[in-house]
Amino acid sequence: MIRRDSPWAIMTPVNDRIRLAMIFSILGGMANLGALGLVALALASLISAPEEAPWTFLCGALVCTVGSYALRIASFNTSHYAAYHLETLLRMQLANHLGQIPLGRIQDFGAGTLTKVLHDDVRALHVFVADSTPLYARAYAMPLATFAVLVWLDWRLAVAAICVLVCGFGVLALAMRNFPEMVRRYNDAREQVSAAVIEFVQAMPVVRTFDTGHSTFGRFQRALDAYLAVVTEWYRGAGFSARFSLSVLGPLPTLLVLLWMGTWLVFRDTLDISTWLATLLIGVGMAEAMMPMMTLNHMVDKTKLSIARIREVLDEKTLPEPATPPGPAVADASVAFEHVSFGYEDGSVALDDVTFHVAPGTVTALVGPSGAGKTTVARLIARFWDVGEGRVRIGGVDIREMETDALMGQIAMVFQDAFLFAGSVADNIRLGSEQATLDEVIEAAKIARAHEFITQLPKGYDTLAGDRGVLLSGGQRQRITIARAVLQNRPILVLDEATAFTDPENEAALIDALSSLMQGRTVIMVAHRLTTVRDANQILVFEAGRLAEAADHDALIEKGGVYARLWTSGDAARNWAVGGVQEAGPE
């Protein structure tokens, strides 16, 4: 059977079709041999009986020829359709899998990398699956079959022909000894070129501002030079053996050997002309049939990297689901962390023994310097990852005992980067509540302070949003996602820096919108700016992964701890002005 780590394993879902393609390909090759054999028979009959037309043989040859290319094309088509279907299957499988692995892992990979896997890497399989499989089958089967026929015709010529083949392949094998090492070095150099190119293009605005000569071009140039050196070394190293085996495996050497030896044997009368012609018709292509193997191995090697990346994603562990979905029912909209510790993959500790309780219907703010763990808390509630130790409870139920859908039914999230997809504005608001009527959508938009600007869009609620639609400002996009959260109407609301990227005028509307959304919900919000949190029922102050303080604003200020310090330095920051001179700060 195929080993799981072999590149061939990637085709498992379409194995049957690929196998069929390979069988067609081999049968096509056999039919070709048959056609050549029948032409040889026709010539033989003509030699023995020059007046008689060998129609039977010629008709047979016609049938075999048609069969041969029909099968060849059928094989080609079958493997192509299989490859196309494999693309669909793999992409769906990947998309599905991404829906089940921890969201945190998706952020680790990055959207760019994952898109590349789903699009480019899956696409890169095509050459391997569609083009190489029929050729592989033939490259293995044809020389064997040809050799068998040659031996049957005349063993001496068969031995001569196989010698040519062995000679070509021997040199080739010798040349391939360092192949894996060269491929590795080549791939390394290539990756560095890609990185340098991306850096070169992306960093161009920065590079330009420092570009007072040629110095910044150097990084790009160095990567290219290193790559050129590797490639040149490879080509030069492989130059002799590759050209030698290409020359030997071509049709001319085999043909010449069969001709010289055949002529000699014919004149010595130990070989009759008909047999000789038959070996010439059939045998000359023997070595050539193996040629695709050289290029194919190279193609498969290139695909290996893509396959490895696809596997890496598919091998990510999915979040465990409860044995008996949907799991126990939640009692209320409370959120509790009980001795939660959590570390990231790279070993850094993000949260250390964090315990707190959020009562239903209250507002809790998470504050602290960046990297203190507040965003991690917000994301653990939505199960971006599972906790390392301790537990997170919603309404008294450990979230790991809830079905993902049930958990999502409890939480609405508003992130700092508002996500809109390419559908209409109305459909964007409807995401997650597809059954909502337009009136309900409009009602939600009104609550989110979005109705007014939506009605001013060219097609109102039917205007296309997202990258391929109208340009909306950050604040407007954010208000659409808030309308979405209003419509989803979930008891717990998690806000992660929801107001970070908006300009002041939008911020006012946005904060209005969020304030409405927060009504009657349990709210947990991450905030960088302290001014936005002073009215929260509870403020949790994080420092280096630990919960340092927890109380409301007044109590924390009075206490004079971390929060009070942050507040004072925040005051200074708020009143800072470029150049230092400021007449009067707000507030």
Partner 1 sequence: MMAAPDKSATQHLDVPWRKTFRRLLAAAGASGGQLRRSLFGLSAAAATQGLALACLVPLFSAVIADRDPKTAIAWLVAMSALSLAAIAIRWRAQGFDYSGQMSKATHDLRLRLGEQLRRMPLEKLQDRRSGEINATLLGNVDENFSYTLIVSDLIFTALVTPLVASLAVLFYDWKLGLLLLAIFPAIIPLYRWRRPVHARGRRALDDMHQRMNADIVEYVQGLPAVRAARRSGERAATLKHTFDELETLQTVEHRASANPNVIIASIVEIGLLVVVAAGVMLVIIGQTEIAVLAAVAVMVSRFAEPLATFVTYTVVIEMIEAALDRIDLLLAEKPLPRKLPERQPDGAEIRFEEVTFQYMKSNRPALENFSAILPPRSLTALVGPSGSGKSTIARLLLRHADPQHGSVRIGGADVREIRQEKLNALTSVVFQDVYLFDDTVLNNIRMARPDASDAEVESAARSACCTEFIEKLPEGWRTRIGDVGGKLSGGERQRLSIARALLKDAPIVILDEPTAVLDSQSERAVQTAIDALVRDKTVLVIAHRLSTVAGADRILVLDEGRVIESGRHAELLAANGRYRAMWDIQSQTRRWRRAEDALATK
Q: Which of residues 126-165 bind partner 1 (CB under 8 A)?
A: none
Which residue in 87, 121, 154, 549 binds partner 1 (CB under 8 A)? 87
| Binding to partner 1 in span 294-323, by CB under 8 A | 295
Q: Residue 587 and residue 583: Cα distance in Å, rounded?
A: 13
> Does 119 contact partner 1 by CB under 8 A?
yes
Contact in structure between 138 and 292 (CB atoms under 8 Å): yes
| Binding to partner 1 in span 342-361, by CB under 8 A | none
Under DSSP, is residue 546 helix (H, G, I), strand (E, B) or coil?
strand
3-state secondary structure string across 309-357: HHHHHHCCCCCCCCCCCCCCCCCCCCEEEEEEEEECCCCCEEEEEEEEE
For partner 1, the closer CB: 15 or 362: 362
Q: Residue 314 and residue 97: Cα distance in Å, rounded?
A: 7
Contact in structure between 424 and 461 (CB atoms under 8 Å): yes
Q: Residue 154 and residue 140: Cα distance in Å, rounded?
A: 22
Which residue in 221, 270, 355, 455 binds partner 1 (CB under 8 A)? 221
> Does 331 contact partner 1 by CB under 8 A?
no
For partner 1, the closer CB: 355 or 582: 582
Which residue in 56, 100, 270, 355 binds partner 1 (CB under 8 A)? 100
Q: Which of 358, 366, 336, 357 is nearest to 546 (CA)?
A: 366
Which residue in 9, 20, 23, 114 binds partner 1 (CB under 8 A)? 114
- Nearest approach in angstroms of CB 3 to partner 1 is 28
For partner 1, the closer CB: 355 or 569: 569
Element (H, E) at 252: helix 251-267
Instruction: Note every long-range contact of 87-96, with CB atoms under 8 Å and residues 24 or more positions apart, other chains counting.
Output: 87/122, 87/123, 87/125, 87/126, 89/13, 89/14, 90/10, 90/13, 90/122, 90/125, 90/310, 91/118, 91/122, 93/314, 94/118, 94/122, 94/310, 94/313, 94/314
> Does 182 contact partner 1 by CB under 8 A?
no
Task: Kindly report the number of other CB atoms within 10 A of residue 278's CB atom.
Answer: 24
> Does 273 contact partner 1 by CB under 8 A?
yes
> Does 51 contact partner 1 by CB under 8 A?
yes
Contact segment (CB under 8 A) with partner 1 among 14-22, 154-162, 233-241, 450-458 equals: 233-241
> Does 111 contact partner 1 by CB under 8 A?
yes
Contact segment (CB under 8 A) with partner 1 among 35-43, 144-152, 173-181, 332-340 equals: 35-43
Which residue in 15, 275, 473, 489 binds partner 1 (CB under 8 A)? 473
| Binding to partner 1 in span 417-446, by CB under 8 A | 419, 421-423, 431-433
Q: Which of 328, 370, 330, 375 is nearest to 526 (CA)?
A: 375
- Nearest approach in angstroms of CB 493 to partner 1 is 11
> Does 37 contact partner 1 by CB under 8 A?
no
For partner 1, the closer CB: 390 or 421: 421
Which residue in 378, 402, 411, 448 binds partner 1 (CB under 8 A)? 411
- Nearest approach in angstroms of CB 112 to partner 1 is 8
For partner 1, the closer CB: 74 or 338: 74
Per residue in 385-396, is it b (16+ CB within 10 Å) or e — as a string?
bebeebbbbbbe
| Binding to partner 1 in span 197-216, by CB under 8 A | 197-213, 215-216
Element (H, E) at 100: none
Contact in structure between 434 and 484 (CB atoms under 8 Å): no
> Does 183 contact partner 1 by CB under 8 A?
no
Task: Kindly report the number of other CB atoms within 10 A of residue 514's CB atom.
Answer: 23
For partner 1, the closer CB: 390 or 423: 423
For partner 1, the closer CB: 321 or 338: 321
For partner 1, how many residues bind (rule: CB under 8 A)?
A: 175
> Could you give the dihedral angle defined by the CA atoms of residues 15, 21, 22 and 26, in that order, rounded to the nearest 10 degrees?
160
